[in-house]
């Protein structure tokens, strides 16, 4: 069977600053996923002040600690030059540069091949961001 491609856009609502588990929203946006025997899901975040990561999804302290650690690494009171969009904007760009705006996840037998304790997170680095858009691209072979 030839390789197949499908693409959709998922718009997430405005979320507060922090690490937000979005695995279920992504799965809900991909109802055709169960038809894929093998492939890859590429997730691209169309923003520069938020990012994506895969991390532990079991302990609710993990996203809180991640937010605290990244805020310590890129604090708002650092003497940034780019300050025209508010004190949280440039630190958001730094955090986004560290984590990145894309993920590639294997698809196996109609499921994302995530580990037992892995979840997909939107990392919102702004205090008052708007909605965020993700481009979801599936590539592989269907059943």
Contact between residue 93 and residue 24 where contact means Cβ atoms under 8 Å apart: no
Torsion of CA 52, 69, 88, 47, to 10 degrees: -10
Please write the tens of the pLDDT for every residue from 113-134. Answer: 999 999 999 999 999 999 999 9
pLDDT beyond 80 at 2? no
Domains of the chain, first to last: 4-142 (2.60.120.460)
pLDDT beyond 80 at 55? yes
pLDDT level of residue 1 (50, 70, 90 thresholds): low
CA 1 and chain centroid, separation: 31
pLDDT beyond 90 at 40? yes
pLDDT beyond 80 at 4? yes
Q: What would the mean pLDDT of 94-121 be, rounded to a whole number?
A: 98
**pTM, 2 dp:** 0.95
């Amino acid at each position: 069977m030839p390789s197949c491609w499908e693409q959709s856009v998922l718009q997430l609502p405005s979320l507060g600053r922090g690490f937000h588990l979005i695995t279920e929203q992504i799965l809900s946006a991909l109802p055709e996923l169960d038809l894929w025997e093998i492939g890859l899901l590429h997730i691209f975040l169309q923003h520069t002040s938020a990012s994506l990561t895969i991390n532990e999804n079991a302990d609710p302290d993990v996203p809180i600690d991640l937010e605290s650690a990244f805020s310590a690494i890129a604090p708002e009171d650092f003497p940034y030059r780019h300050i025209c969009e508010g004190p949280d904007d440039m630190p958001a760009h730094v955090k986004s540069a560290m984590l990145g705006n894309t993920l590639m996840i294997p698809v196996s037998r109609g499921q994302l091949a995530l580990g037992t304790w892995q979840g997909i997170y939107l990392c919102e680095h702004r205090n008052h961001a708007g909605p965020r858009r993700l481009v979801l691209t599936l590539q592989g072979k269907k059943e």
